[in-house]
Structure 1
Amino acid sequence: MDFLQEIPEETFRDILLRVPYKSQSKIKQLLEPAKEIMECSQFYQDRAKFGLLKQYICVLKPGSISIYDPIDQTCVQIAPLPKGFQTSPSTQTVSVNHKIVLLWLEHNHDSDSRRILIYDLLTSTWKQGAKMPTPTSYFTSFTCCPSPQGSIYIAEGEPMYGIDKLRGAAVYKVDKDMWELLPKMQEGIRMSKSVFIEGMFYVIDLSNHRIQRFNPNTKVWTTIENISEGVEYVNVLYAFGRLIATTLSKIYEYDWEENVWKELETLAQHLWFAHATVWCDRIFFMRRNNLSGPPVFYMYKPGAALSDRWISVAKPKKFKENKVKCITTIEI
C-alpha cells in the first residue's frame, strides 16, 4: 500500500507495537510489511519492555486451544491440535514467553507418549519439541511449571502398580529445544503440584504432605516435612508473594515460618474439577457447580475486602465446550 511508504519505519513499528494480540492476525493478513515485523521475537520483547502485553486465559480443550478474555468475556479458538495429537487426562499446558507448550509425558506398557508440542503465538504455527529422555522405566503422571528464564521444570509422579515411587526430574529449555536431566529428588512423589518461587523449583506432594525444593544453582534438593497432613489439595499456586492451595471447599495459604497451611477462606459450594491460574491481580477459577453442569468462572483476590474478594464472571460468548482439560495464563 502506497501510504506506508510515507510513514517512517520507526513510527510504523511503534504503531504495530500497540496493536492488541487479538487484532494482530488481521493486520498481518492485510499488510505484508507488518507480518514480517510482528512475527519476530524482538517484537514480543519490545511489547514486554514497554508494558504493552496483555494477559489472557489459555484454555486447552480436547482438540484445540482457545484464549479467553475475562474483560470482554470472549473465548476464541486460535489453533486446532495437529493431526495425530489428542489430549489425555494428564496433558498439561504451560505458557513460556510467546509460546504455548503442551506436554504429554505418559510412559507405560502400552504406549510411549513423551511428546512436546509448541504453538508460537507470533507465527501461529505448531512445532514438535524434542522427546524427553526419561531416566526411568514407567510413569503415568507428572507435574511441571515454567521458570522466569523460559524453561519448564518437570518432576515425575504416580508410578504404575508394583513400581517404587519415582524420583526423576528434568528441565526443558524451550528456546533451545533441549532437555537436561536433574539430580533425583530425595524421595518419590505421587499426586503432586509444582511452582517456581524466587529462583527455585518447589514440588508439593499431595500424598505425603511434604515439599521438595530444587536449587538450579547448586543442583541440590532439600525437603520440608509435615505440612498440614489430611488436606486434600486440588490446586497449588504461587500468587502475589503467597503460596496458595485450594481444596474442594477451602482456600489455604502456606505459612513458611510455622511450616503449616492456614485457612484463608471456606467456600459455600464445592469446586468440582476446579481449574485455577493466576491472572493479573487475581486467581481465576473455572469450576462446575456439579459433576455434569456447565463451567462457572470466578476471580478471587486474597486479602481484599469481602465485597471485592470474589467476582463472578459471566460465561463467555459462544463457549459451549465443557470438557476443559486445563488452563494457564498467557501474556501476549
Structure 2
Amino acid sequence: MSSCFEPMSDLIPGLPEDVARECLIRVGFDQLPTVRRISRQWREEVESPDYSRLRRAEGLSRTVLAMVQAQPEHVEQGPAQKHSSASTAANGGGPANKYRMVLLDPVEGRWAPLPVLPGPTGSLPLFCQVAAVDVAQGRKQLVVVGGWDPESWAPTDSVYVYDFLSGTWRRGAPMPGPRRSFFATAAVGGTVFVAGGHDEEKNALRSALAYDPESDSWTALPDMAEERDEPRGLCVGGKFLVVGGDPTPAQGRFAGSVEAFDPATSTWSPVQEGVLQDGACPRTCCVAPGEERMYMLRDGNLVARDGGASAAWRTVASVPEDARTASTVSAIPDGRVVVIGSGCHGGDQTVYMLRDDEAGKPASWLRAPAPPEFSGHVQAACFLQI
C-alpha cells in the first residue's frame, strides 16, 4: 500500500536531530496541522508527549483565547441572518452573522481563524458554549456544545470537537435530555460539564451532564439544589462551579448564589449564598485556569474576588468606554485579564488587556489591535494553552 508521506531519513535534511527538533518546537500554534502533514516523522514528532513538554520547557507554549466570533459583514451570509440580528440584540449581543472559531494570542496580538464547521451553513450554532480540554498525550481539543441552529433558531443538542493537531472538526455524541439553552459550561480536566439553562418551554433546569471527548460519551449527574437559567460555568479548584442564574418563577432576577460539583465525589456542595449581588448577571464572571480569583464587570468597572466564603469584591480598574458593553471577560493565569466589548450594542468589538498582579502600580489597559476581519461580536470564549 502506498503512503501519502515522503520518506525522510532526518527530521530536517542536513540538520542534526537536536537542532531540527529545536526548529519544530518553534512552529506557531496555528501551523501545527500543516506541520503534521509534511511527513510521517514530523507527525510522530508533534504528536509525542515530549513535543508538548519541550515547548513548555522552552517557554514556547502560548496561552490563547478561543472565541466564537461573528464573521464580518462583507462575508457571504445565510438567509437566517436578517432575523438573527434582532434576536442577538435582544439577548445583549452585537450583530449576528455566521459564527466561526477564532484564536487570539492577546500578548502578541496574533489572530488566526480555525477551519469553518462542516455543513451547509458553515456556521457554529448561535449562543453555543465552548470549553477546552486536555486529551491523550497532551493533545488539546475544543468542544462546542448546544446553541441554536443558525437557520431555524431551534435549540440543538449538537456537539462539535476540534482537534488542534489534525486541524479538523468532528461531530460528537448529541447532548442527551431536553434541548437546553443558555446553560453553564466549563471543562474540568478532560471532561466538559453542563448544568442548568432552560428547556424549550422556558422552564429553568436543575439537571447536569458530563461529556468525555475521548470516549465520546455523556453521563448524567445528580441535579443541582436550585433551578438555574442563564448561569455561568467556571472551573475552580478542580470543581465545576455554577454561578448565579434564575428560577422559572423569577426569570430575569438573577440569584447571587453558587453551587459546586466535585468530580472526585460526584456530589454538589451546599449552596453558597451571596457570592454575587442578587440581580447581578453572571455572564462576565471568569476565573483563570488553576486559580480561584474571580473577575466580573460591574457598573463599568472590572472587579475581583479572591477565594473564600467571606471574600469581598474589590475594584481593579475602570473599563475603557469603548468596551463597557462587554461580550466576554477572560482571565489568564499570569494575572492578565482580557475584556472584549464595544461602546454600544452592535458596535465593532474592541480588545483590551490588563495586568492585575503588579502590586503598587496603577492599573492600565493595553488595547490589542483587531484587524477588521476580526472585529465581529464574540458570543463565547475560553482560554487554553497550546
Among 119, 126, 129, the alignment partner of 2:162 is 119
Deviations 1:154-187 (A, max 9, x none): 1021345563x31100111122222111101111
Identity of aligned residues (%): 20
Is the 1:94–1:100 contact (alpha carbons within 8 Å) kept by the matching residues of 2?
yes
Deviations 1:201-241 (A, max 9, x none): 11111411111111222222121123422433431112343
Distance 2:13 2:182 in 1: 55
Instruction: Look up the match of 1:224.
Output: 272
Indicate the larger mover: 267-276 or 189-198.
267-276
Distance 1:187 1:58 in 2: 30
SS at match of 1:35: helix
1:80 has 2:116 as partner: yes
SS at match of 1:86: coil
Instruction: Look up the match of 1:175.
Output: 214
Note the C-alpha offset of 1:306. 7.7
Residues 289 and 44 of structure 1: is their aligned pair in 2 closer, same or farther, counting only changes over 3 Å?
farther
Query: Pairwise CA RMSD of aligned residues?
Result: 3.1
Residues 63 and 263 of structure 1: is their aligned pair in 2 closer, same or farther, counting only changes over 3 Å?
closer
SS at match of 2:24: helix
Deviations 1:304-331 (A, max 9, x none): 3686623222423353542333222232
Among 330, 347, 363, the alignment partner of 1:293 is 347
Instruction: Look up the match of 1:99.
Output: 141
Note the C-alpha offset of 1:251. 2.7
SS at match of 1:46: helix
Distance 2:311 2:9 in 1: 66
Deviations 1:114-147 (A, max 9, x none): 111011111111111112222xx45322110111
SS at match of 2:209: strand
Instruction: Look up the match of 1:278.
Output: 331
Instruction: Look up the match of 1:46.
Output: 53
Is the 1:66–1:79 contact (alpha carbons within 8 Å) kept by the matching residues of 2?
no
Structure number with higher strand proportion: 1
SS at match of 2:271: strand
Residues 41 and 157 of structure 1: is their aligned pair in 2 closer, same or farther, counting only changes over 3 Å?
farther
Is the 1:144–1:152 contact (alpha carbons within 8 Å) kept by the matching residues of 2?
yes
Q: In structure 2, give the amino acid aligned to 1:279.
A: I
Note the C-alpha offset of 1:91. 0.7
Distance 1:285 1:204 in 2: 19
Distance 2:54 2:267 in 1: 36
Gapped regions of structure 2 (runs ≥ 5) = 1-7, 70-97, 135-139, 246-253
TM-score (norm 2): 0.74
Instruction: Look up the match of 2:261.
Output: 214
Distance 2:171 2:340 in 1: 28
Instruction: Look up the match of 2:379.
Output: 325
Instruction: Look up the match of 1:90.
Output: 127
Among 190, 194, 199, the alignment partner of 2:229 is 190
Distance 2:374 2:241 in 1: 35
Indicate the larger mover: 57-66 or 290-299.
57-66
Structure 1 residue ranges (4+ consecutive) displaced by more than 6 angstroms after TM superposition = none
Q: What number of residue pairs does the alignment pair up? A: 326
Note the C-alpha offset of 1:110. 8.2
SS at match of 2:285: strand
Among 40, 43, 47, the alignment partner of 1:35 is 43
Deviations 1:36-62 (A, max 9, x none): 422x26355434663542112222233
Distance 2:316 2:377 in 1: 29
Is the 1:232–1:247 contact (alpha carbons within 8 Å) kept by the matching residues of 2?
no
Is the 1:167–1:186 contact (alpha carbons within 8 Å) kept by the matching residues of 2?
yes
